[in-house]
Chains A and B, each alone.
Chain A
Amino acid sequence: MTSHASSAAADASIPPRTDRRQAGASGEPPAAPRRPGRRTGGAPGEPGLIAYAYVAPALVVFALFLLAPLVYAVQLSFYEWDGLGLGTWVGLDNYVAVFTDPELRAPFGHALVLVVFFSLLPVTFGMLLAALMTRTRVRGAGFFRTVLFLPQVVALTVVAVVWRQIYAPTGPLNDALRLVGLDGFARGWLGDRDWVLVAIGLVGTWVGTGLCTVLFLAGLSKVGRELYESSRLDGAGFWAELRFISLPSLRGELAVALTLTMVAALRTFDLVYVMTGGGPGNASRVPSYEVYDRAIQEGDVGTGITVALVLTVVILAATWLVNRIADDREAA
């Protein structure tokens, strides 16, 4: 424990500096005299073909195990297929179904609820924690950072198993509620249609907050100390400092945190699979679960894959939108 704590403390000062060095270095190589013909990186007369030999192994694996399935996915989305016999060409029917069939639309609605818990809450909490840790010189900052980030590294299956126990009808959460006299609130959280998404969502909040905190801490460490010093002289309190200094300087990190956590929310699978299996009823079915259940369990491959592709487009659109907004603000 001691060695860990000390390494964490010693480490606390490292990331910003290394960050900067790496960032600076990754731009242009130091001003070496550039002669025409030497910029290729190949020795004179050496065929540039050699590059393909280096790229080929990666490209082959990538093409076979990622691109080919992706192309096949698009193809399958135009078929109705049970995974066994011959498929039937149905054109855009599967896509129409995803947008019109309430049973297929519901999971996307559930995913939106999860976005609030997986993304908005962790970003808010992360911002507050990072601001607190930057404003006051916190002793043991490295320790707190390490602990807060910890949920991020535990397998989500494990997380799901643990939280299932916390939410159990006789679990610690209900015990605590009864202890403080809120017996009426105690319930089987994961078996309650109205609460199941909130319960799963809070697990996402638990997982994501540390990541956001660490991202924002890294961002804030690049803000000049003088800026804070002078605002402090002007009598700026915590909230003013957060609003006028920290928030504006964290635009990039905000976009990154929102992107990462939103994608995680939209893709939630492990938690749902282990905690509820989509239930009770269909109350916690999310897109990824729908994909797996339809395509592999129910033999409705075309629909399942179409849900996956629509989900992909939603994720790309969300990512694009968040970064677009961040860029716009930066330009303005």
Chain B
Amino acid sequence: MKSTGREKLVWTLISIAVLVYALFPVASIFATSFKAPGDLTNGNFLPTPGLATLDNYEQILVGDAQGLFLTALWNSIGISLIATFIAVVLATLCAYAIARLDFPGKKVILTTALAVSIFPVISIVTPLFNLWRNIGLYDTWLGLIIPYLSLTLPISIWTLAAFFRQIPWELEQAAQVDGATTWQAFRKAIVPLAAPGVFTTAIIAFFIAWNDFVYGISLTSTEAARPVPAALAFFTGASQFESPTGAISAAAIIVTIPVVLLVLLFQRQIVSGLTQGAVKG
């Protein structure tokens, strides 16, 4: 395909349109995060020059709202990472068995994963809310990590099973023929091929845990375990008389930065992981 001048122009315009579509809401909340309280209500997109301020960031990082925001951030990072780690380890074993071994019930496992992923989260929340209060898991990290597995496990199993099916397992046998032990063959021939898929799955699972809101607001009540999305929704600001718009915007930008970085760095892997798990199954 030759790219003529006109074609280039058309693609530039299309690309700009897509970029605006994808990034405008982010830009919008980014602009709001620099507005001073008095500057919020004038109906402008950008903060008034001269009034732009870092106060909102200061408030949530070192100021009054620090305790609220930083604890929530720590909860989110910890809970999401642990839930991702458990899901990826279990899903790796499971997907390996599905792709590599012959045993009855493979289809049952994959169908279960599918059924779990279409489950309405809110339907699980009510009984868990009640149960967690009775056994003391309410408002704890573990009380969120367990239900998060219902979000992270199914997609991890599907994505990894799809990924592992494409690995040429004959390599393993070839290595064994060449004199490697079973473990050596597995480690040298299979692990390098499987690692990118496991890594991709981990990123996708982490996004999903990081995004949770329903469990976060229903199964926590204090800073002990409340993750960022829930904390944002219940954030009331430093003063009762000031709406916390600026502070929430600043917090929103801070939790968005790691996501955007991950997307920038691993765009190719995320796309292939999502679509492999999704369409090729």
Q: State whether these chains interact.
A: no
Instruction: Give me the interface of A with B, judged by CB distance under 8 Å.
Output: none
B binding-site residues for A, Cβ under 8 Å: none
